[in-house]
Structure 1
Amino acid sequence: MIVLAIDTSAIASAALIRCHESFSDAAVLASFATEDTKSHAEVLAPGIRALVAEQELTGPDIARIVVGVGPGPFTGLRSGIATARALAFAWSVPLDGLMSLAALAWDVVEAGGPDSEFVVATDARRKELYWARYAAGGALLDGPHVSAPVELPSLPVYGAGAGLYPEQLAGAGASAAPGFDSAQPTAASLGLAAVALLAAGEALPDTTPLYLRESDAQVPGPRKRAL
Structure 2
Amino acid sequence: MPVLALDTSAAVAVALTDDAGAMLAERSDPQQRHHAELLTPMIATVLADAGVDRRELTSVVVGTGPAPFTGLRVGLVTARTLALALGIPARGVPSLDAVALRASRVLPAGTDVLVATDARRREVYWSLYRLVGAGRIEVLVAPEVAAAADVAADERTAGALVVGRGALLFADAFGRPATGPVVAAGAELPPVQDGVDLEAAGLLDPDPAELARLALDRVVAGQVLRTEPLYLRRPDAVPQAARKRVLG
TM-score bucket of the superposed structures, by smaller chain = 0.7 to 0.9
Quickly say closer, same or farther: Cα 1:114–1:159, change in 2 above 3 A.
farther
For the residue of structure 1 that corresponds to 2:215, the secondary structure is: helix
Alpha-carbon distance in 1 for matches of 2:12, 2:2: 20
Contact 1:5-1:65 within 8 A present in 2 as well: yes
How many angstroms does 1:55 deviate by? 2.2
**Letter in structure 1 aligned against 2:4:** L
Q: Give the 3-state SS of the residue equivalent to 1:192 in structure 2.
A: helix
**Partner in structure 2 of residue 180 of structure 1:** 198
Corresponding residue of 2:36: 41
- Over the residues paired in the alignment, what is the CA RMSD in angstroms? 2.0
Q: Give me the whole-angstrom Cα distance separating, in 1, the residues matched to 2:219 and 2:82.
A: 21
**2:193 matches 1:198:** no
Instruction: Give the alignment's TM-score, normalised by structure 2.
Output: 0.81
Q: Distance in 1 between matches of 2:130 and 2:100?
A: 9
Q: How many angstroms does 1:113 deviate by?
A: 4.2
Which residue does 2:16 correspond to in 1? 16
Letter matched to residue 115 of structure 2: V
In 2: Cα distance, 1:59 partner to 1:72 partner? 27
- 8 Å CA contact retained: 1:98, 1:204: no
1:8 and 1:79 in contact (8 A); partners too:
yes
Equivalent residues, number: 217
Segments of structure 2 that go 5 or more residues without pairing to the other structure are: 152-156, 179-195
Relative to the length of structure 1, the TM-score reads: 0.88
Q: Secondary structure at the match of 1:135?
A: strand
> Structure 1, residues 142-173: CA drift from partner, whole Å, max 9, x if none?
12000011222222111110111122123xxx
**221, 225, 228: which one aligns with 1:208:** 228
Match of 1:189? 210
1:31-70 deviation line (CA, Å, top 9, x unaligned): 1111111121111100101111232222220001110010
TM-superposed CA distance for 1:188, in Å, is 1.9
Q: Secondary structure at the match of 2:131?
A: coil
Q: Which runs of 4+ in 1 moved over 3 A?
A: 221-227
CA contact (8 A) 1:8 1:80 kept: yes
